[in-house]
Amino acid sequence: MANSYINTITSLSATSSTSIYTVPSATTAIVKMISAYNSNADNAAALTIQVTDASASSTKTFDKESVAAATKKAFLENGEVLVLDENDILKMTAATANYFDIFVSTLEIS
């Protein structure tokens, strides 16, 4: 088994559901950190995090939060992790475009 640490860094430039990370084939992923920074200095905005379970062809909401202006929000805290199987997808939807910078740290086990 090989272990690889992956960092995914992106910005949400639209208000549609955006795929942030997809687990490669024959791989299990342990998401260690999900962080969103609202880069707008004046306005709070909502962010929805969803997970698509590829084996069940189902997408469910993991969390939905309003993030204050110029603030970072951590979505996995106190040792929480999110375990994803092959082809599962971590998605995010911003209520307002161009507000959020996203950081995800993942351990891939293949």
Share of the chain above pLDDT 70, in %: 100
Amino acid 59: pLDDT = 98
pLDDT average, residue stretch 31-41: 98
Cα–Cα distance for residue pair 51/78, rounded to 1 Å: 20
- Exposure of 32 by Cβ count < 10 A (0-12 exposed, 13-18 middle, 19+ buried)? middle
Measured in degrees and rounded to the nearest 5, phi and psi for residue 93 equal -130, 120
Structure letter (DSSP) for residue 1: -
State the residue for tokens 């090989």: 2
CB-side neighbour CA atoms (13 Å) of 56: 8
Q: What is the mean pLDDT of the chain?
A: 97
Spell out a b/e string for 49-81, using b for 16 or more CB atoms within 10 Å of the CB, else e. bbbbebeeeeeeebeeeebeeeeebebbeeeee
What is the per-residue pLDDT for 80?
95
Is a pLDDT exceeding 90 seen at residue 7?
Answer: yes
Query: So what's the pLDDT on residue 84?
Result: 98
Structure tokens at 2: 């090989």
Q: What is the pLDDT of residue 46?
A: 98
Instruction: Return the pLDDT at 1.
Output: 78
Residue that the structure tokens 């106190």 belong to: 78
Residue 101 scores a pLDDT above 90 = yes
pLDDT digits 0-9 by tens, 49-92: 999 999 999 999 999 999 999 999 999 999 999 999 999 999 99
